[in-house]
Each structure stands twice: as C-alpha cells, then as structure tokens.
Amino acid sequence: MSVVFIPPDQWLTLLTMNYTGLLYTLRRASVLGLYLVLSIVLSSCSTVSYYSQSVVGHSRLMLARVPLDKAIENAQEPVKAKLLLSKELVTFAVEQLALPSSSSYKSYVALEREFPVWTVVAAAEFSLAAKQWCYPVIGCASYRGYFNQAAAHAYADKLKSQGLETEVGGAPAYSTLGWFADPLLPSMMRYGDSEFAETLFHEIAHQKLYINGDSDFNEAFASVVGETGVVRWLQANNTAGLVAYKSNLKVQQQFYLLVANSKQALQAVYQSKLTPIEMAAEKHRVFDHLRASYEALKTQQWDGQDWYRSWFDNDLNNAKFAALSTYRQRVPELRALLTKCDQSLIRFYKVLSSAKRVDQKVIVPNACPPLTYAQTS
C-alpha cells in the first residue's frame, strides 16, 4: 500500500493554491480527500500536525480500496456475506428509499484498527452546548475528527487543560458526503445485518441532504432515514428480523428518553442563579440520579440486560450529553414530519431541502404539502 506524503516545505505552496482549482484537482485524483480541503483553509490556530494527519489518514484509506467484486472473491466468512449484502442494501437504498446512486460503498478496505476515525466533542463545565469547529465546505460541526486514536485523546487532553469537558468516541463509518468514493469498512459490519443496513442507509442519507453548519439536524435526519430504511428493508425481506429490530429501537428510545430527562434537569441547573460550587454539586446529583434511573430501567424493562454499560464506563460529563444529543435531539420532530408526509420519503426530502434556516439552524416545517404533478413525473 502506497501512502501520499507531502513534505512540510510544500505546505505553504498548498496554502496559497486557488481553493476551487485545488478542489477540482482533489476530486479527480481521489487521493487527498475532503479532509485536506478542509484542513488547508482552517483558522490559524490549527496546526500542521492536524493537516498532516488529515492528509495521511484519508490517503491511506483511499489508496487501500479494493473493488467490491474482488474483495468478495478474496474474503472469508462472515465478511464475504456482509460484502454481498452491501450490494443488495445499496440497491435498496436507491430504488426504495430514493437515496442517491454514487461511487461510494463499491469498494472495501480491510482496516486493521478498530475505527477509521475518532471524534472529539467538547463542552464547557456548565453548558450542554458542544464546542463548534468551522470549515468552509461543510460549515460548522460539533466535533473534530482524527485518524489516530492517540492524537484524538491528546487533543482532548489539551481541551481539558483549557477547562472544557471532553468525549472521545470511535466512528464506525467514514463519509466524505459523496465527494469521494467512500469504502466499506469492517467497523461498519461488526454487528448484525440490521445494524449494518442502518449504518449504510445513514451514511448514504448524508449524500442526499446535508445542511452546512447544523450537525444536530444532519445526524438526526440521517438517523431517521437509516432507521426507516431498515424497517422497510426488513418488512420486505425478514419479518422475524423486523420484530427484533423494533425491539432494539424501543430499547434505544427508552435510553434516549432517560438521557433527555437528565439533560433537561441539567439545563435548569445551568440556567439557575446558583454559585459555581452549588451548581457543580447539583450537576453531580443529576448524574447520580441518571445512573440510578438507568439501573431501574435495566432491571424493570430489559430483564437485566446492560445495553448501555459502556456509556457509563467513564465519568459522565456535558460533552457526553452533547455527543449523544447531536444524533438524537431532533429525531422526534423529524419523525413527526415524516408522518405528516404520509411516510413518503420523497416528500420528506423535498420539504426539508427547502426548509428555512435561522442562525444556521434548520427550522423543520410544520406541514408536508403533497408533490405536484411536475415533481412526481
């Protein structure tokens, strides 16, 4: 496997290149990736080391891609079965979920590390708002990505030294929003077929609609499309699997509701007129109550199954809440909109693509008009 290396003395040349011309060159080369595009135009506080890890990390993934048919031919079970399934799922996404057809997920990288990317989320001691990092292509995002786990933790430690609370988590999928031919990865296929399908539909949904600067909307939208897609795929192919998947969704919703209630309690604490010492004490009381409530939920509803033990493994903090909220906070209102669209994903996409924005945030419409004849033809 070859790795593209850019010597440090060439970075100033890259920094002064015309942005549009660079983007065109990168898309044709399919080597240096979206992260390079983002990195070279970041604010001055970013470092060459961050640029470098972005370039090398993306390049290694792109250069390691194996065409899907060849990967299937050489793979052993259970990877072979998952790669074969991916073809069916991508076809289903295009034909039944009205998601875009692209060159993504038609190759495979047998990545040896646990995750392709680790994300860092940060929040202040008495705030549930995630720190934002802004990029010229995708707008602002509530996380910063690293291809190296140690580098992600090092950056998180730096943020901690500045008084922020942090959460580092692995991302099982890797997406460039369709700019490049994103590969399938072992981390996407680690669990069952339903989970694999949800991940794949989620990532392809980002290529359908991505609103610059609104991470909460983007992840919730992809989550709704991903989960809806799995339900429809199982309805057509595996009714027994559908029962199990809906049961899993119920467990997820119970956990998210528990966290949402705690988040609401924390918000009230942070908006109060308590002193910092009093606020810190109340904050930890909320955390203790959440742990106790989780234990009760586990015992009373889940037959003792410790589904979310890993979420509680490390100390609870605001960044952990912010990271989860990015994916789930806006799911209910988007599900409600899909219902108003009579479960039509085409209408759902259409109304959201023209939704208004206030302060970079998408305002989810209250209504879902039927498509006109021109829009259906």
168 within domain boundaries: no
Domain membership of residue 54 as a residue range: 1-63
Q: Which residue has better confidence, 75 or 1?
A: 75
pLDDT tens sequence across 316-364: 999 999 999 888 999 999 999 999 999 999 999 999 999 998 887 899 9
225 within domain boundaries: no
Which structure tokens are listed for 142? Answer: 């509530």
Three-point CA angle 154, 159, 164, nearest 5°:
140
Q: Which residue has better confidence, 315 or 285?
A: 285
**What's residue 137's pLDDT?**
61
24 within domain boundaries: yes
Nearest to 334 by CA among 209, 171, 241: 209
13 within domain boundaries: yes
Report the alpha-carbon distance of residue 241 to residue 235 in Å, rounded: 9
> Is the confidence at residue 141, as pLDDT, over 70?
yes
pLDDT tens sequence across 46-87: 556 776 777 788 888 999 999 999 999 999 999 999 999 999
How large is the average pLDDT for residues 284-311?
Answer: 96
**What's residue 43's pLDDT?**
42
Give the C-alpha distances (Å, rounded to integers) separating 314 from 129, 174, 262, 280, 319: 20, 25, 17, 18, 12
**What's residue 4's pLDDT?**
22
1 within domain boundaries: yes
**What's residue 140's pLDDT?**
77
How large is the average pLDDT for residues 27-47?
Answer: 43
Report the alpha-carbon distance of residue 290 to residue 316 in Å, rounded: 10
54 within domain boundaries: yes
Domains contained in the chain, number: 1
